[in-house]
Amino acid sequence: MQNAADRLASAIAAVGNPTAMGLDTQRGHLPAEFAPRDESAQEICACILRYNRALLEGMHDLVRVVKVQVAYYEMYGLPGITAFSETLRLARELGYIAIADCKRNDIGATAGAYAKAYLSPEGGFSCDFVTVNPYLGADGIKPFAELAGEYGRGLYVLVKTSNPSGVELQDQPLADGRKVYELMADLVSHWGGGLIGSCGYSAVGAVVGATWPAESTALRARMPHTPFLVPGYGAQGAAGKDLAGCFDPNGGGAVVNASRSLLCAHQKRPELGWLEATRAEAVRMREDITAGFRKGADE
């Protein structure tokens, strides 16, 4: 069973682009040709799915990783969950690495059920990685790590989130001098120690916000075998220059998520048509990230 970190590294290398396209697909962002005919959950979700499919088909030569944020589907109940599940399935079928962004967790037994849902072949959802909330400690992580090892899947654990108020908890100092997020980084490195692939990275990754360049640079050094999922690019204000420290000297070790900046690109450049506008933004983003990375490597 191939390690998920190795599959992720190959997918990124295939297109030379560490972008994860965030499918936080919302009714208000849909291009005109995908506009629902009525406001029923069924119709909206059918349009969201139709758009996701067209986007996945149209972006495949540029991007090979997608992150599907469950909240934008769950809000519609069953039709939304069906669209979420189908989007993940379709993404994998088309050769994308699919991250289910669900931030799941609970006590060990219940975490085991969540882990089965996302990381086992018999589970209800087909994905390569799932995002996990670490507040419950090792009991809640072990079931995910075990299934990740067994089935060649992976998880991303929240370490330093992109949002401003994350500091209220994550930056609190501990008695031993570390901050809470540094302790979490050390735990995540430990949890992932047995799942390191031939690319040098583990199937247990960390979520590290692009909005914290100094912290993410320090975390890259602190967690040399932990791949990062880096949200916060674009709509939350981070740019390529803020990301250099997330990557290793070979340009590996991080996948950068962008959701609204890609999904809303067609609203900013209506003259291009929705797919060309999204593609143009993906190319611009790739150049921005790699320019930031090259500059970081030269410094």
Ligand X SMILES: O=C(O)c1cc(=O)[nH]c(=O)n1[C@@H]1O[C@H](COP(=O)(O)O)[C@@H](O)[C@H]1O
Binding site for ligand X (CB under 6 A): 22, 24, 69, 101, 131, 161-163, 207, 209, 231-232, 234-236, 257-261
Contact 56, 86 (CB under 8 A): no
Considering the complex, state which of residue 42 and residue 133 has its C-beta at the smaller distance from ligand X: 133
Q: How far is the CB of 161 from ligand X (least distance, A)?
A: 3
The span from the CA of 3 to the CA of 186, in Å, is 21
Q: How far is the CB of 156 from ligand X (least distance, A)?
A: 7
Which of 103, 116, 179, 268 is an active site residue? 103
The span from the CA of 269 to the CA of 296, in Å, is 30
The span from the CA of 6 to the CA of 194, in Å, is 14
Considering the complex, state which of residue 43 and residue 260 has its C-beta at the smaller distance from ligand X: 260
Considering the complex, state which of residue 161 and residue 216 has its C-beta at the smaller distance from ligand X: 161
Helix (H, G, I), strand (E, B) or coil at 1: coil
Contact 179, 191 (CB under 8 A): no
DSSP 239-267: -GGGTGGGS-TTS-SEEEEESHHHHTHHH
Considering the complex, state which of residue 65 and residue 258 has its C-beta at the smaller distance from ligand X: 258
The span from the CA of 133 to the CA of 149, in Å, is 19
Considering the complex, state which of residue 227 and residue 234 has its C-beta at the smaller distance from ligand X: 234
Q: Hey, CA dihedral for 126, 128, 132, 134, is it positive or negative?
A: positive
Q: How far is the CB of 86 from ligand X (least distance, A)?
A: 18
Token pair in block for residue 235: 């709509």
Considering the complex, state which of residue 28 and residue 177 has its C-beta at the smaller distance from ligand X: 28
Q: How far is the CB of 175 from ligand X (least distance, A)?
A: 26
Token pair in block for residue 207: 């979520």
Helices (H) and strands (E) in the chain, counts: 12, 8
Q: How far is the CB of 170 from ligand X (least distance, A)?
A: 10
Token pair in block for residue 5: 């970190």
Q: Is 241 annotated as catalytic?
A: no
- Which residues neighbour 289 within 8 Å (Cβ) at sequence distance 6 or greater? 18, 19, 233, 240, 243, 256
Q: How far is the CB of 223 from ligand X (least distance, A)?
A: 16
Which residues carry out catalysis? 103
